[in-house]
């Protein structure tokens, strides 16, 4: 069930708030197209429509007017700067419209957004159930600094668990099944290669996607690791945005 319809222009940048929504809830994302919006609403019965307003083209503004006319009995959320929200005052002052400043931090947006959902019992009973279906990630790394940083980057978008060694990873998999494993390539005692070999040898969790985390940029070592057919690798000096983009790609976001 796709609970939320997201409408935005293709040129619009994928901001942290957009990534949060797409990863946390069941969504469909389209451009400003009133016919497509109406068809999607008919197919999925959306109760919530999120509209990103960012330097909209004249054609998109016209489609926005049609969308607001066609989609009845739904809650609209407009996300944009204060200036952009003021520009669409004829819509944002409607009773079924809520506005969110895109300058909010992810944490503040999530608090305000789920508070809004909680005030609408029909929404909270369906949309918030989608949040319970967030993908889960197991982080495996012996470096506490890396674990802390990556956990902070991921925690708003995914359920995150950590293991500080290869042995702890295998022990965790005996009781849990994450949707993705981010595995440190270089660890003492049982390194990433050995850990992945053990993962692949157990039928119960052999098919869980694995991405290597490595500070090694030596292509010979990287190629050696890729022989075990992980879903890829991420260098540890990758910045937050690129890191999240690489993880999101695994889940088709």
CATH numbers and ranges of domains, the chain: 4-131 (3.40.50.2300), 136-250 (3.40.50.2300)
Q: Are strands 4-7 and 232-235 parallel, antiparallel or unpaired?
A: unpaired
pLDDT (0 to 100) of residue 72: 82
pLDDT (0 to 100) of residue 52: 95
Q: Which residues of the chain have pLDDT under 50?
A: none
pLDDT (0 to 100) of residue 76: 95
Tell me the pTM.
0.62
Distance CA 50, CA 59 (A): 18
pLDDT in tens, 182-215: 999 888 888 888 899 899 888 888 899 999 888 7
What's the chain's average pLDDT? 86
Of 35, 33, 32, residue with least CA distance to 53? 32
Distance CA 81, CA 220 (A): 47
Distance CA 136, CA 175 (A): 14
Strand partners, 138: 161, 181
pLDDT (0 to 100) of residue 219: 65
Distance CA 158, CA 165 (A): 21
pLDDT (0 to 100) of residue 105: 87
């Amino acid at each position: 069930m796709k609970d939320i319809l997201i409408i935005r222009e293709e040129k619009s940048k994928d901001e942290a708030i957009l990534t949060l929504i797409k990863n946390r809830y069941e969504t469909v994302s389209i451009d400003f197209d009133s016919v497509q919006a109406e068809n999607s609403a008919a197919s999925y019965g959306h109760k919530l429509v999120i509209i990103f307003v960012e330097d909209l083209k004249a054609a998109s503004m016209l489609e926005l007017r049609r969308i607001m006319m066609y989609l009845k009995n739904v809650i609209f959320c407009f996300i944009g700067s204060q200036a952009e929200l003021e520009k669409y005052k004829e819509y944002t002052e409607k009773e079924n419209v809520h506005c969110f400043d895109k300058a909010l931090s992810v944490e503040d947006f999530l608090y305000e957004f789920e508070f809004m959902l909680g005030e609408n019992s029909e929404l909270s009973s369906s949309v918030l159930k989608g949040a319970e279906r967030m993908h889960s990630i197991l982080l495996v790394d012996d470096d506490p600094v890396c674990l802390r940083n990556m956990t902070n980057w991921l925690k708003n978008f995914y359920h995150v668990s950590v293991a500080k060694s290869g042995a702890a990873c295998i022990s965790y998999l005996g009781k849990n099944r994450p949707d993705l494993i981010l595995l440190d390539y270089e660890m003492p005692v049982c390194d990433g290669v050995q850990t992945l070999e053990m993962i692949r040898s157990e039928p119960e969790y052999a098919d869980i996607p694995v991405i290597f985390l490595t500070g090694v940029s030596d292509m010979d070592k990287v190629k050696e690791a890729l022989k075990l057919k992980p879903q890829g690798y991420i260098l540890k000096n990758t910045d937050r945005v690129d890191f999240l983009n690489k993880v999101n790609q695994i889940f088709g976001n």
